[in-house]
Structure formats: C-alpha cells, structure tokens
A and B are shown apart, each in its own frame.
Chain A
Amino acid sequence: MFEFFKQPLPWYIAGPLIGLTVPVLLIIGNKTFGISSSLRHICASCIPGDIPFFSYNWKKELWNLFFVAGIFIGGVLASLFLSNPNPITIQPELQNYLAQYGIQNFSGLVPNDLFNWSNLLTLKGFLLMVVGGFLVGFGTRYAGGCTSGHAIMGLSNLQWPSLVATICFMIGGFVSAWFLVPLILSLTI
C-alpha cells in the first residue's frame, strides 16, 4: 500500500486535488486561493520600509504564510517518506535538447547541473536563479497574481482579467523557453 504512494501522481488526480483547494479555503475561512501574495506579506511583515503598498495589517493575512509554510513542510515530508525510488521520467525530446548543453543529471526536481550553490557565481546560474527569481516576484505582483491566483482561482471564478494574465504568463513562458533559456544554457561563463 505504501509503495503506491511513492509512485508519481497522474495529472487527473493531481489537478482535481489542486482545484479542490479553491472551495476548501473558501468554506473553512472565506479565503481566496493564491500563493504569490505570501511574498508581499513577507515584505509587509519584515521590510515594509514606509512603502504604502506594504502598509496594511498583514496579520489579517497570516493564514497565507501558514499555508506556504505548509507547502514547505509538505516538500520535506515528501522527500523523507514518499520519494519516488525511480528516476523521474523525462521526455526524450527534452533529454536530447538538454544534453546539447551538457545537462545529464535528471535525478532532482531541479537540474543539479544548473541549480547549485557554486553556479550562483556564474553568469548562467545568476541569470537562472537570481534574475529568474526576481522576475517571478516582480511579475506576479505587477500582474496581481500567479498561476494559483489568476490561472486557478481567477479562471475558476470566470474573471476575464485573469484569463488575460494567464495568456500573458504563457506567452512570456513560451518566448523564454524557446529563445531565452537556450541562450542562457549556451553560456559558458
């Protein structure tokens, strides 16, 4: 039985479970689902710096910080007890594409050849981890939500601005994955 839980979840189980978070949060506490807001609450609680955008009662949104702390703990538990003994399946097209850039280690959730501490000091690693992270934090707040807030909560509530945001996420991602990421991967510094 336990072995079953070590296998990767298929999309038709994972997707509906994620979708159910929407009504669960609404029913247990009138909370609309979203994750990127947690980054704003961290700013508001730790480094508000007299900025009006961060001068709100963040304690009212403390639940969201507990929620993301839970996601972190979920990651810990999954790695301790439920980690898949088999290597993660990667499509052969992606394997071939990454092999061109010397990426051959497919064992982790993130490619260890790229995302590691010593690579932070290379231009390639800096762009992927630091600049990439900055764009995620800046872009989600500018857009007013991320994949969970806009693509899942917003679309579930049939909000057309969320559809616009989701389409823009995808356009940005396509351009980045097809043109920008290969350029960054080809860097040797």
Chain B
Amino acid sequence: MQTFKDFKDSELRHQDSICVNESEKKETFGENFKYLLIGIGFGIVFVKAEIVSWFRIQEMFRLESFFMYGVIGSAVAVGALSVYIIKKLKVKTIKGEEIKIEPKTFNKGQIYGGLLFGIGWAMTGACPGPLFAQIGYGASVIIVTLLSAIAGTWVYGKFRDYLPH
C-alpha cells in the first residue's frame, strides 16, 4: 500500500528528473547488483565504441563525422520500438508489476538548462555517463570534472526556486 508519505517522496523524486524508480516494490540491497552488471556492460560499450572520447564529441558538433548521430539515432530507434512493444503488449516487469513511464511536462528549464548543458558537453567532451567511464579508463583528472558536475547539481538544487522554470 502506498502511503501519503511515499506519494510525497515519489513526487519529489520526479522533480526535474526523468530517470526514476517507478517500482512500488521494495528491493533488497543485493538486487542492486543487477544494475551494477548492466552498468558494466554499458560502460564497456561506451568505451569500446569510443563514445566517451572527447574527439568524437568534437567531430559530432563540428559535423565532421556521422558516427555519434548514428549511435544516438539507432539507440533512440531501438528504445522507441521497445517502449512501443512494451505498451502495446502491456509487458510486465519480472516481478509482475505494470510498467510505468511518467510523461514529461514542459518547463523553460529544458531550454535554459539544455543550452547550458550543451555548452558544457562540448567543453568537457562528456555528458554525465561518460565521465564515470573516462575515470574508469584511467583519465584520473576527470575526477575533478565529476566533482565539479556534482557541485553544479548542488548549486542548482540550492537556487532552484530562484531560477525561471
């Protein structure tokens, strides 16, 4: 049973987030290792496709290579087809729960924040995921970039109410 407290908490977790745990079931600590394994596979693909390379990101924005457009385009195509099938066939989770994807509401943050992130993306050559992979691959100084990104998120949280949305 979902309590009012759970409801408020879920609402807060959804704030400015697309990536949320929608499950109402409790997971044991051990179950988190499933996500660790998926992350490992994901990290290997990231590095092996050189998506986490600063050079690839410059080539993408300078329109010198099709590569990243191919990666993102085919990822979206497979993702969209999967979501369509899941909705159409009402596929359930392995625990028999109904799959829920919260629709996204528009606010101006998607424009202002999107532009700011884009500027940072071309500078660092990395979005948040690749930062973790680059550090793992041995670029130790990227720890500073990651800490700075965490600081950026914190400053956003602190001043959120004063920013236009």
A residues within 8 Å of B by Cβ?
5, 8-40, 42-43, 47, 49, 51-57, 60-64, 66-79, 82, 84, 88, 90-91, 93-94, 97-98, 106, 108-111, 114-117, 119-120, 127-162, 164-178, 180-181, 184
Contacts and interface: CB of A to CB of B under 8 A. Distances in A.
B78 A154 contact: no
A85 to B, nearest CB: 13
B55 to A, nearest CB: 5
Given A16-B78, A184-B123, 4 more contacts: A8-B48, A70-B35, A74-B44, A172-B122
B53 A165 contact: no
A8 to B, nearest CB: 6
Interface of B: 9, 12-13, 15-23, 27, 29, 31-55, 57-62, 64-68, 70-80, 82-83, 85-86, 91, 93-95, 97, 99-107, 109-129, 131-142, 144-158, 160, 163
A20 to B, nearest CB: 6
A63 B21 contact: yes
Nearest to A176: B122
B123 A180 contact: yes
Given A12-B74, A16-B74, A71-B42, A142 B16 contact: yes
Nearest to A136: B120
A44 to B, nearest CB: 9
Nearest to B152: A137
Contacts of B101: 26, 32, 157
Contact of B120 (A111, A139, A155): A139
Contact of A23 (B43, B86, B127): B86
28 contacts: A11-B71, A25-B35, A26-B82, A30-B23, A39-B152, A43-B157, A57-B9, A57-B13, A60-B9, A60-B21, A62-B32, A63-B21, A72-B43, A73-B40, A75-B137, A79-B47, A79-B136, A94-B59, A120-B144, A129-B141, A141-B156, A142-B113, A144-B104, A151-B72, A168-B117, A177-B57, A178-B62, A184-B123
